Amino acid sequence: STEEDTGYIARSEEVSSTEPNRKIRTVHMGNATKKLSSQDLEVLKSTEEDTGVNKKRLLKEYQAFKKRYPSGFITRENFGFLAQNFLPQQQCTTAFIDRLFHAFDADNSGTIDFHEFMLAITLRSSESSDDKLRFCFRSLDLDNSGTLSKSEMLYAVQLLFQHNPGLDEQAHESVNTPQKVLEQIFKKVDADRDGQLSTEELVAFMKRDPQSFQFLGLSQIFLT
Count of Cβ atoms closer than 10 Å to residue 69 Cβ = 19
Q: What is the pLDDT of residue 14?
A: 44
- Residues 91-108: b if buried by 16+ CB within 10 A, e if exposed: eeeeebbebbbbbbbeee
Residue-level pLDDT at 26: 36
pLDDT in the model for residue 1: 40
Determine the pLDDT at residue 25. Answer: 36
The secondary structure element, H or E, covering residue 95 is helix 94-104
Spans of the chain, pLDDT less than 50: 1-6, 13-32
Taking phi over 0 as left and psi of -120 to 50 as alpha, with beta for the rest, 56 belongs to: alpha
β-pairing verdict for 73-74 and 147-148: unpaired
Q: What pLDDT was estimated at residue 34?
A: 54
Of 71, 73, 103, 72, nearest to 87 (Cα)?
A: 103
